[in-house]
């Protein structure tokens, strides 16, 4: 049995994930055949099934995120604003940062407060879309100070 490098394994897994994302109802035989044509090798069933399940979960998460965005677009801006303000304590530990997290930078002015949000990438993208809608409606006292794929620091200026 020939050993493949980690980069080659990653390339092969990415190929299968893309295949499953683009063709979610592809048959097992068709997917295995496409894999064999591309790489000239077969793949064990366990890895194949894990990659297929991962791709299906990702598609479900994307669909749920799209539904949430559609919900927000149908919700009046004031109601959305109230929901975000009400949800802010639930997203943090009450002190503005999750346990064992690095403290965010100091606030950007008198009366400004930072809110640290630790969430999945999909949730952060959703929150960013909500903030953009709030800013478009005139809420200029809230902005994203810094963000990564796993967390976001919001700065809220006192009025």
Predicted confidence band of residue 101 (pLDDT cuts 50, 70, 90): very low
Mean pLDDT value across the chain: 75
> 78-100 pLDDT, tens per residue?
665 666 666 555 454 444 444 44
pLDDT tens digits, residue range 117-140? 888 888 888 888 888 888 888 888
Query: In whole angstroms, what is the distance from residue 31 CA to residue 54 CA?
Result: 15
Least confident of 18-32, 107-121, 136-150: 107-121
Gap between the Cα atoms of 38 and 31, Å rounded: 11
Task: Domain ranges for the chain, please list them.
Answer: 6-65, 77-156
Whole-number Å distance between alpha carbons of 12 and 98: 36
pLDDT at position 79:
66
Does residue 48 have a pLDDT over 80? yes
Mean pLDDT of 7-27: 86
The number of beta carbons lying within 10 Å of the beta carbon of residue 34 is: 15
pTM comes to: 0.40
Whether 153 and 104 have beta carbons less than 8 Å apart is answered as yes
Provide the angle, in degrees to the nearest 10, between the axes of the packed helices 45-74 and 28-39: 110
**Stretch 110-118: mean pLDDT:** 77
């Amino acid at each position: 049995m020939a050993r493949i490098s980690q980069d080659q394994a990653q390339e092969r897994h990415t190929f299968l994930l893309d295949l499953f994302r683009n063709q979610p109802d592809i048959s097992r035989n068709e997917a295995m055949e496409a894999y064999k044509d591309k790489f000239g090798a077969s793949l064990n069933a366990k890895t194949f099934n894990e990659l297929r399940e991962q791709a299906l979960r990702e598609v479900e998460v994307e669909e749920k995120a799209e539904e949430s965005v559609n919900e927000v677009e149908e919700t009046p801006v004031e109601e959305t604003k109230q929901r975000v303000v009400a949800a802010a304590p639930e997203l943090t530990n009450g002190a503005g940062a999750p346990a064992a997290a690095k403290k965010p930078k100091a606030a950007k002015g008198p009366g400004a407060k930072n809110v640290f949000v630790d969430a999945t990438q999909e949730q952060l993208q959703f929150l960013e879309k909500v903030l953009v809608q709030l800013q478009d409606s005139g809420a200029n006292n809230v902005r994203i100070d810094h963000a990564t794929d796993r967390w976001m620091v919001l700065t809220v200026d006192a009025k």
